[in-house]
Amino acid sequence: MATHSNNQYYVPHGSVYPSIISVGLLSLASGFIFSVATDRSKELAYLQAPGKWMMILGALLILAMVFKWMGSVITENITGKFKGWEDKSFRIGMIVFICSEVAFFAAFFGALFYMRVLSVPDLAGYDTDITPYKDFLASWPSIGPGGNVLGMEYTPPANFHAMSAWGLPAINTALLLTSGATITWAHWGLIKNNRKQLIIGMALTVALGIAFLACQAMEYHEAYTEMGLTLKSGAYGASFFMLTGFHGFHVMLGTIMLIVILIRCMKGHFTPEHHFGFEGVAWYWHFVDVVWLGLFIFVYWL
Amino acid sequence: MSTTTVAHHDDHAEHPTGIMRWLTTTNHKDIGTMYLTFSLIMFFVGGAMILGIRAELFKPGLQLMNPEFFNQLIGVHALIMIFAALMPAATGFANWMIPLQIGAPDMALPRLNNWGFWLLPPSAILLTLPFTLALFGIGDGALATGWTFYPPLSVQGGIGVDFAIFAVHLLGISSVLGSINVIVTVFNMRAPGMTLMKMPMFVWGWLITAFLLIATIPVLAGAVTMLLTDRHFGTHFFDAAGGGDPIMFQHLFWFFGHPEVYILLLPVWGFIPQILETFSRKPMYGYKAQVYSLWAIGALAVVVWAHHFFTAGMPVPALLYFMYSTMAISLPLAVLFFCWIKTMWRGSMSFETPMLFAVGWIILFGIGGLTGLVLADVAADAQYHNSYFVVAHFHYTLFAGGIMGIMAGTYYWLPKMTGHMYSEKLGKLHFWLTAISFNMTFIPQFFLGLAGMPRRIPDYALQFAEFNMISSIAAFTLGLSQLLFVYNIVSCARGGKKATDKVWDGAQGLEWTLPSPPPYHSFTEQPVIK
C-alpha cells in the first residue's frame, strides 16, 4: 500500500555542522556578555576587547556552518534525495516555524498594547504628591523620563516628536506590498516554466527588499539626529525601535534568502513541480509583509 | 502492505564511532539517549544545588553561605531542573518512542534533531559558568532573582542575569526545534492506517506539548530580550520612570510560565495511562475522553497565567477571571484522574516498578493538583503567596508529577531500550525510598507555609526549626536514593537478564513488536495498522 508518492524516507548522514553552530552561539553569547559587562561594574572593562573577539569568532563560525549546512541540503536536493514525502515534512516544518515567529512578535505587540493602554495612563493618574515620577509626561507618544526620578536628573530632548505614518513608513508599506506581488508574479512564472518572468520577478523582489531596508535606515537616522527619538525615549521609543528593529532584521534575513533563491533560480535549480526552497522563502516573505502591516497600523498610524 | 524499505541512508554500512558518532548523529535513538543522559546528569547538578540550600536551612541562622549565594543556588536549581532535567527527559522519550510508537523510520527532520540536542550543553555551561567566573573575580555569581527573572532586581543584577538570559535563548531555540520536529513527525510519519485517533496517548501528549511550546517559548524569548535591552541599551519596558511597568514582565513571563507547567506534565500524562493499561492487563479506559481532556487543558493553559501573581495588584474583574479559569482546569484534569483509576478498576494488576511509580504518581500528583486548587483561590492566595506552601505544592506537581512520572517511564521502557531487564528488587527499593523521603521532605513544607514561612529566605524564625530539620534530613535521603536510580540504569545498560520483545505481558503498541533493543533503523518496513 502506498500512501506516499515514494516509499523511502531520506534520513541524512551524520553532520557536524549543528554542534559547531552551537559552539558558535556559545561564543557569540558569552562574548556579548563580556563586551557589555562594564555596564554593571567598571572593573570588568578589560573584558570588552576579548568579548568582541569572541563575538566575531562566534558569528563567523555560525555563518560558515549555515553556509555549509544549506549547501549540503541543496546538494541533496539536486541529487534527488527529496521526494514528495520529505517535501511534505519541510512544508509542515516551515509553517510551524513561522507560527513560532508570530508568537515572538506577539510578545512585543503585547508589550506595546500593555504600555499604551495600561501602564502609561496609570502613571498619569497618580497623585503627584506621592509618585516618584513627578515630571513624567504621561502622553502617547511618551517622551521618556523627565525631571528628577529617584535622584537621577533627566532632560528630555527639546525637539522630540513622534514618527509620522505618512512619510517614509507609507513608502515602505508600498514597497513591501509591491514586493509581495512581485514574488507571487515570479512564482507564476516558475509554475508556467517562464524563466524570464521568474528571474525578473525575483530580482524586483530583492530590489524592493533592499529599498525597504535603505528607507528604514534613513528613518532611524532621522529619528536619532533630528527628532530626539531614541531607544531611551520611554515606552514609545522602546516599543518603536524593538518592533521595527526586529522586523527590519527579519527583512534583512528574508532579503538574503531571496538573493540565494534568485541565484538558484538563475542556475535552474527549480522545476515547476518541485521548488519548496522557493516557496518556503516566499511564505517567509509574506509573513514579514503581514507583520509590517501590523506595525504600520499600531506603531506608526494609530 | 508491500515489503518496501522506508528508511534510506547514505551510509548504510557504517556510521562514525566514538565521540564523532554522538556529535554528528542523526539517529533518533542516539539523540534520545543523549537527551536522557544529559537530563540525568543535570538532575544531579540541580539536586546538589538544592541540597546546599537544605543544608543551610537545616537550622535557623546563617551557617554555610551568604544570602546572595543562597539566592543564586535557588534560581539556578529551578532553571536547571525545569529546562535541563525535566524537559530534556521528556524530549529524550519523544525521540526514542514517538517513531517507534507511530511506526516511523526516524524523526522527520534528523539534522535539526541533532542541533536541538547540541544546544543544551552550551546552555548548561551558560547557566553554571558565572559560579566559576566569580571564583576568578569576574562578576558576582549566577542570577540571584529566582528562576522568574522579575525586574527590577533582574535589571539591576550582575552578569549572572545576562548569562541566564542567553541560556534561556539557547534552550528556547532547542525547544522550538524539538517541537517542530515532533509536530512534523506526527503529521507526516505515521504508519499507514494509524489515524490520529489511533495514536498512543504519549504521542498525543507530546503533540499538544509541542503546540504549547511553539506558542509560548518565543514569548519568553521576547520577554528576556526586553530585559536585556532594559539592562544594557536604556529601554524602559519594565521601568515606570519611562512609562513601562515591572508587572508587565510578570505577565509576559507567566504567559510562558504557566503553559510550561503543562509542557512538563503533558508527556507524562501521555505515558502513565499506557503503563496503567499494561500492568492492569486491560485496555485504557476512555481514550477519547483523555485526548479531549488533554486538548482542553492545553487550551486553558494559555489563558490562566496571572494566577501566579494575584498579589501583585490587578483589577478585581481580572482577579475573578483568572481565578475561575484556573479552577476550570480541574474539570478536564478530574476526567483524566477518573480515566486513570478506571483503567485499573478490576484489572488483573501486578506491581512491577513502573506500575508502583505510576500508582504512587497518581496519589502524589493528586495532592499537587488539589493544593493548586487552594492556591487558585484569590482570597486564600493572599495568605499563601510566596510561602513554603507554594514550594511544597509545585514540588508535588513537578517532582512527583514530573520526575517520578519520568522514572516510571524510565523503568517501563528501559528493557526495550537496553535489551536487558533491570533488577526488580532494586527498582522497588528505589521507589519506596523515593516516595517516602519525598513526602517526608515536602509535607512539612506545607505546614511551614501555612504557618507563614516565606520562600527564598536563607534564615527563619525559631518556631519553624523542627519542620525544617525533618525536611532537610529527608531531602538528603531523597537525593542519596537517586544514586540507586543511576546504579539501576547503568547496570541494566551493561547487562542482565535478556528482555523479550514484548517485555511486559500486558504491553500494547508498536514499540513492543520490535526486538529489544530495537535495530539501529527502527521500522525499515512501515507496519500497517488495521
What is the predicted ipTM? 0.94
**Does any CB of chain A come closer than 8 Å to the CB of residue B290?**
no
Of the pLDDT bands very low, low, confident and very high (cuts 50, 70, 90), residue B14 is low
Is residue B59, in this structure, part of any structural domain at all? yes
Q: What is the pLDDT along chain A (302 residues), one digit of tens a residue?
A: 334 434 688 888 889 999 999 999 999 999 999 999 888 888 888 999 999 999 999 999 999 999 999 999 999 998 888 888 999 999 999 999 999 999 999 999 999 999 999 999 888 888 777 777 777 777 888 877 877 777 777 777 777 878 888 889 999 999 999 999 999 999 999 999 999 999 999 999 999 999 999 999 999 999 998 888 888 888 999 999 999 999 999 999 999 999 999 999 999 999 998 999 999 999 999 999 999 999 999 999 98
CA of A28: which chain B residue's CA is closest?
B166
Has residue B526 got a pLDDT over 90?
no
Amino acid at residue number B107: M
Q: Tell me which residues of chain B, numbers 79 to 108, contact chain A at a CB-CB cutoff of 8 Å.
A: 104-106, 108
Single out the residue of B522, B412, B518 nearest to residue B110, CA to CA: B522
Is residue B406, in this structure, part of any structural domain at all? no
Give the best residue of A66, A89, A133 to mutate against chain B (max B CB count within 10 A): A89
Q: Give the pLDDT score at B7.
A: 52
Look up residue A104 and give its three cell numbers: 515572538
Contact criterion met (CB < 8 Å) for A103 and B189: no
Is residue B218, in this structure, part of any structural domain at all? no
Look up residue A146 and give its three cell numbers: 523627565
Q: Cβ(B143)–Cβ(B154) under 8 Å?
A: yes
**A229: distance to nearest CA of chain B, Å?**
12
> Partners of A149 in the beta sheet?
A152
Q: How many domains does chain B have?
A: 1
Q: What is the mean predicted confidence (pLDDT) over B170-198?
A: 96
Contact criterion met (CB < 8 Å) for A26 and B125: yes
Q: Cβ(A6)–Cβ(A84) under 8 Å?
A: yes
Contact criterion met (CB < 8 Å) for A150 and B23: no
Spacing of C-alpha B432 from chain mean position: 21
**Does any CB of chain B come closer than 8 Å to the CB of residue A51?**
no
Has residue B32 got a pLDDT over 70?
yes
**Does any CB of chain B come closer than 8 Å to the CB of residue A109?**
no
Contact criterion met (CB < 8 Å) for A8 and B189: no
The 10s digit of each residue's pLDDT in B224-271 is 999 999 999 999 999 988 889 999 999 999 999 999 999 999 999 999
CA of B256: which chain A residue's CA is closest?
A107
Is residue B50, in this structure, part of any structural domain at all? yes
Q: Rounded mean pLDDT of chain B?
A: 94
Has residue B13 got a pLDDT over 50?
no
Long-range contacts made by residues B341-349, C-beta under 8 angstroms, separation at least 24? B342/B285, B342/B286, B343/B273, B343/B276, B343/B277, B343/B280, B343/B282, B343/B284, B343/B285, B344/B276, B344/B280, B345/B285, B346/B282, B347/B279, B347/B280, B347/B281, B347/B282, B348/B280, B348/B281, B348/B282, B349/B279, B349/B280, B349/B281
Q: Which domain holds residue B110?
A: 20-191
Of the pLDDT bands very low, low, confident and very high (cuts 50, 70, 90), residue B316 is very high
Of the pLDDT bands very low, low, confident and very high (cuts 50, 70, 90), residue B2 is very low
Amino acid at residue number B215: A
Show residues of chain B in contact with A144, CB under 8 Å: 236, 242-243
Q: Give the pLDDT score at B3.
A: 38
**A87: distance to nearest CA of chain B, Å?**
10
Cα atoms in the Cβ-side hemisphere of radius 13 Å centred on B152: 6
**Does any CB of chain A come closer than 8 Å to the CB of residue B218?**
yes
SS3 label, residue B119: coil
Judged on CB neighbours under 10 Å (0-12, 13-18, 19+), A129 is exposed
**Does any CB of chain A come closer than 8 Å to the CB of residue B5?**
yes
CA of A45: which chain B residue's CA is closest?
B138
Secondary structure of chain A in HEC code, one letter for each residue: CCCCCCCCEEECCCCCHHHHHHHHHHHHHHHHHHHCHHHCCHHHHHHHHHHHHHHHHHHHHHHHHHHHHHHHHHHHHHCCCCCHHHHHHHHHHHHHHHHHHHHHHHHHHHHHHHHHHHHHHHHHCCCCCCCCCCCCCCCCCCCCCCEEECCEEECCCCCCCCCCCCCHHHHHHHHHHHHHHHHHHHHHHHHCCCHHHHHHHHHHHHHHHHHHHHHHHHHHHHHHHCCCCCCCCHHHHHHHHHHHHHHHHHHHHHHHHHHHHHHHHHCCCCCCCCCHHHHHHHHHHHHHHHHHHHHHHHHHHC
d(CA B65, CA B71): 10
Of the pLDDT bands very low, low, confident and very high (cuts 50, 70, 90), residue B11 is very low
Contact criterion met (CB < 8 Å) for B251 and A114: yes
Is residue B508, in this structure, part of any structural domain at all? no
Q: What is the mean predicted confidence (pLDDT) over B512-525?
A: 88
Domains along chain A with CATH numbers: 15-81 (1.10.287), 83-301 (1.20.120.80)
Has residue B463 got a pLDDT over 80?
yes
Is residue B350, in this structure, part of any structural domain at all? no
**Does any CB of chain A come closer than 8 Å to the CB of residue B22?**
no
**B16: distance to nearest CA of chain A, Å?**
8
Q: Give the pLDDT score at A7.
A: 63
Single out the residue of A34, A65, A66, A37 nearest to residue A51, CA to CA: A34
Give the best residue of A38, A40, A66, A232 to mutate against chain B (max B CB count within 10 A): A40
Has residue B6 got a pLDDT over 60?
no
Is residue B505, in this structure, part of any structural domain at all? no
- Closest partner residue to B118 (CB to CB) among A9, A22, A231 is A22
**Does any CB of chain B come closer than 8 Å to the CB of residue A115?**
yes
**A6: distance to nearest CA of chain B, Å?**
9
Show residues of chain B in contact with A101, CB under 8 Å: 218
SS3 label, residue B387: strand
Q: In which element (H, E) is residue B199 found?
A: none
Q: Give the pLDDT score at A125.
A: 80
SS3 label, residue B500: coil
**Does any CB of chain A come closer than 8 Å to the CB of residue B144?**
no
- Output phi, psi for B7, to 5 deg: -95, 130
CA of A133: which chain B residue's CA is closest?
B241
Is residue B481, in this structure, part of any structural domain at all? no
C-alpha dist (Å) from residue A236 to A113, A239, A302: 11, 5, 13
The 10s digit of each residue's pLDDT in B418-435 is 999 999 999 999 999 999
Show residues of chain A in contact with B222, CB under 8 Å: 104-108, 111
Q: Tell me which residues of chain A, numbers 158 to 217, contact chain B at a CB-CB cutoff of 8 Å.
A: none
Instruction: Report the predicted TM-score, pTM, of the whole model to 2 decimal places.
Output: 0.94
**A237: distance to nearest CA of chain B, Å?**
8
Task: Tell me how many degrees the CA angle B13-B17-B20 measures, rounded to the nearest 5.
Answer: 115
